[in-house]
Amino acid sequence: MSLLFNLLIATAAASPVVGGDRDAHGCIPSAGYTWCESTQQCQRSWEQQCPAVEKRAVGGDRDAHGCIPSAGYTWCESTQKCQRSWEEQCDA
C-alpha cells in the first residue's frame, strides 16, 4: 500500500495546477486570462472585450504653433520658432 500511496503523491506533485502560472502582468493564462493594455487589467476575451489602444507615432502631434511636443519641440517666443531646449536656449 505504501508504494501505491507514494505513486499517487508523485503523480499529483508532477501535475501542473490550473491557475498556478502567471505572466509578466500577473495574469493567469491557464485560466484564460490575458493582459489588456487599454484597460490595464487581466481579463478573459470571452467575458470582456479588450479595446485597441490608439498608438500615436512620435511626431504625430502638433501644438498651436506647429511644434511637435512628443519630439521635444516647444515654441520659443523670442526666436519665433519651434526648438528643443537641449539644442538651443530660448531667451524669454
Query: What predicted TM-score, i.e. pTM, was given to this entire model?
Result: 0.41
Domain range for 47: 16-54
1 within some domain = no
Task: Determine, yes or no, domain membership for 60.
Answer: yes
Residues 20 and 33 in one domain: yes
How many domains in the chain?
Answer: 2
Closest by alpha carbon to 29, among 15, 40, 39, 17?
17
Task: Give the tens place of pLDDT for each residue, 31-71.
Answer: 999 999 889 999 999 999 998 876 666 667 889 999 988 88
Q: How far apart are CA 70 and CA 77, in angstroms?
A: 19
Does a structural domain hold residue 66? yes
